Chains A and B, each alone.
Chain A
Amino acid sequence: MSGGVERVDGLDGGFPRSQLEHDGELIRTGAPVTGVVGLGEVIVTAHGDGRLRFFGADQPPVIAPVHDGVILSMARAGADRVVTGGEDGAFRETATDGTTTLIARLGRRWVDCVAAHRRTGHKACSVGARVSVWTRAAPEPVELEHPSTVAGLAFDPTGTRLAVAHYGGVTLWSQSGTEWRPDRLEWAGSHVSVAWSPDGAYVVSAMQENALHGWRLHDSLHMAMSGYPAKPRASAWVGSRPYLATSGADQIVAWPFDGEDGPMGRAPIAVNYAGPALVSAVNGLPGTAVVFAGLDDGAVLMSDLEEKPQALVLRGTTGEAVTGVAATPSLSHLLVGDSAGTVLWAPLKA
């Protein structure tokens, strides 16, 4: 665990306010940021008051009220749109101009998780233990049942497989025409989120037990990645190797997924932040090995995993946990959202 950043004395152990904060715009929405998704040069935030906010360069944010109550989940559904699930039992699709359409109303229960695939146009959401999948082939969704409440949903890179996290493991559904066939990846405990590796060879879940669990699909090899002080719920695939950069520790922990055995028997890269705060949000920058880490004390740091493991402070400590961070691919802007509903929208280039 080498590297790290200099601490500044007299700041009660926190990180100092950055130039970026000085240059950027601070929007206090009053509603916790529950998700951040990049749509090319537009970045969208989901909020606890049911609103989506679309941020782009040289324009005021587009505000779209889409749900009644908390937006519980959001996923990218196309070049310029997201799907969202809410406390109001609605599953919606909203474009960057704020135009929103109802995909389905699923009763009075919460729509906990959503997923979408850009190329196939598949859209999925979960209510309790049931996942509904809409395809372009039929107006009615396919209903997939699970042994317990669904806590995570993700389409693979081809859009023909859907990973569903729940208690006791992950169910992999494979599409064959209009049929979806399940395979169960079992591992004791509660799985709270799920992600695919970019090549579709691995599925990785975050667990209630402050650990990650991975499966190499061709031979169902198990990988346990433990030792986190908190749930590593947030993760991002970073760089061409690629690395799985994860939250849940006082440092970015990035597992290498190249080679025959991926992270098996190898140590992760760790970028130490030399403080008590834990990473609560993580994101990459497409085409680079740059990783953004949002901490639960509000700070945001940037590191390049292929270079010396050290971090640049993009935002200082605020006291409110970062819930999402993203940069535009052109590196024109950085967006940070937190649990108090504050959004920092800051130009990265002078």
Chain B
Amino acid sequence: MNGKVPVTVLTGFLGAGKTTLLNRILTEQHGRKYAVVVNEFGETGIDNDLVVDADEEVFEMNNGCICCTVRGDLIRILGGLMKRADSLDAILVETTGVADPAPVAQTFYVDEDVAEKTRLDAVITLVDAAHCEEQLEQSHEAPEQVAFADIVLLNKTDRVDAATLARIETRIRGMNPYCRIIPTDRCDVPLDQVMGQSAFDLERVLEIEPDFLDSDHDHSHDDAITSVTVQADRPLDSDRFQRWFSALLQEHGQDILRSKGILDLDGEPQRYVVQGVHMLMESDFMGPWPADEARRSRLVFIGRGLEQLDLERGFAACQAA
């Protein structure tokens, strides 16, 4: 796509199976050239001739925006990889279990050199079914990684019973309603379900179903990270929406991990699509509404303490008079 090299980010706690998945990707995708970026303190045993050690250096920009953190080492490493004589089919970035995935994703929005040559394909979070309930309770990073994921690979499902598995899936769904949950035993997922996802393309936002809200997610657990979907049947006033949305991201971008929406702006024949990572946001008009679909605006947030943000009322007030 546009000749940009796709970058897949693998997150998940130690022991969840990141190395197993990495090695599967590297050995089964014959004839393809991959670079793997690993943390020097991470798991070893990666079977590839192009393994690059990273330091997971999180840099703040000096513009005062606490949300605009980037992975400085990744900027440097991706820059170096783009100078190779041979072209890469993809780059895999493995993060440590304690890493916050946001700076990795934000790097692709903030750094122009990175954005020019590479694109973020998807964030895949590996979850160990046998230990994840405990990890979600005890760590700050585990819920963050689940909340950020485009794909949750629920691994080692053979070690738990069906009821536990169902409970875990419900819980993950409550934190992150639009990720794809793939249950596996030993990362035995068809690789075309994890590679080449284009999960950060605005096009993919269009896949949020109109009846998304109706599925009524079960928040059986008291997780700090939740999701909220807001919707409006009347068209939105463009100015009002932009003011509300940018103020929201400015003030609460730290708590809003990801946001995605398809919007019906008053007087606009095309669907307006937004996608954000913390306070960084991209948007575009993405073609006309399908004839068989109601023009209904919908916006999904994943984050912390969302119930306090009065999102329903704020969004409703954006509707045109």
Name A's B-contacting residues (CB within 8 A): 30-32, 34, 47-49, 69-70, 72, 87, 108-110, 112, 128-129, 148-149, 151, 167, 187-190, 207-209, 230-231, 339, 341
Identify 20 new A-B residue pairs, CB closer than 8 A, beyond the known A47-B85, A167-B72, A208-B72.
Answer: A32-B84, A32-B85, A48-B84, A49-B84, A72-B80, A108-B51, A109-B53, A110-B80, A112-B80, A149-B55, A149-B57, A149-B72, A149-B73, A188-B60, A188-B62, A190-B61, A208-B61, A208-B70, A208-B111, A231-B113
Cβ of B240 under 8 Å from chain A:
no
Least Cβ–Cβ distance between A51 and chain B, in angstroms? 9
From residue 109 to 144 of chain B, which have CB atoms closer than 8 A to chain A? 111-113
Main secondary structure of the interface of B (DSSP, over half): mixed
Q: How far is the CA of A139 from the CA of B53 in the complex (A)?
A: 28
Residues of the B chain whose Cβ atoms lie less than 8 Å from the Cβ of A188 = 60, 62
Least Cβ–Cβ distance between B49 and chain A, in angstroms? 10
Residues of the B chain whose Cβ atoms lie less than 8 Å from the Cβ of A207 = 62
Residues of the A chain whose Cβ atoms lie less than 8 Å from the Cβ of B52 = 110
Residues of the B chain whose Cβ atoms lie less than 8 Å from the Cβ of A31 = 85
Least Cβ–Cβ distance between A63 and chain B, in angstroms? 14
Q: Are B62 and A48 in contact (CB under 8 A)?
A: no
Q: How far is the CA of A209 from the CA of B61 in the complex (A)?
A: 7
Q: How far is the CA of A69 from the CA of B59 in the complex (A)?
A: 27
Cβ of B30 under 8 Å from chain A:
no
- Taking a contact as CB atoms closer than 8 A, the residue among B59, B82, B85 that contacts A208 in the complex is B59
Q: Are B59 and A190 in contact (CB under 8 A)?
A: yes
From residue 28 to 64 of chain B, which have CB atoms closer than 8 A to chain A? 51-53, 55, 57, 59-63
Least Cβ–Cβ distance between B60 and chain A, in angstroms? 8
Name B's A-contacting residues (CB within 8 A): 51-53, 55, 57, 59-63, 70, 72-73, 75-77, 80-85, 111-113
Q: How far is the CA of A208 from the CA of B59 in the complex (A)?
A: 10
Q: How far is the CA of A237 from the CA of B269 in the complex (A)?
A: 54
Q: Are A341 and B53 in contact (CB under 8 A)?
A: no
Q: Are A108 and B53 in contact (CB under 8 A)?
A: yes
Q: How far is the CA of A188 from the CA of B76 in the complex (A)?
A: 18
A70 with B72, Cβ < 8 A, contacts A109-B53, A209-B61 known: no
Interface centre among B55, B62, B75 (most CB of A within 10 A): B62
Q: How far is the CA of A170 from the CA of B112 in the complex (A)?
A: 23
Q: Are B63 and A48 in contact (CB under 8 A)?
A: no
Q: How far is the CA of A70 from the CA of B52 in the complex (A)?
A: 13
Closest A residue to B112 by beta carbon equals A230
Task: List 12 contacting pairs A-B, 8 Å CB cutoff, sorted by A.
Answer: A32-B83, A32-B84, A49-B85, A72-B80, A110-B52, A149-B57, A167-B57, A167-B72, A208-B61, A208-B70, A208-B75, A341-B85
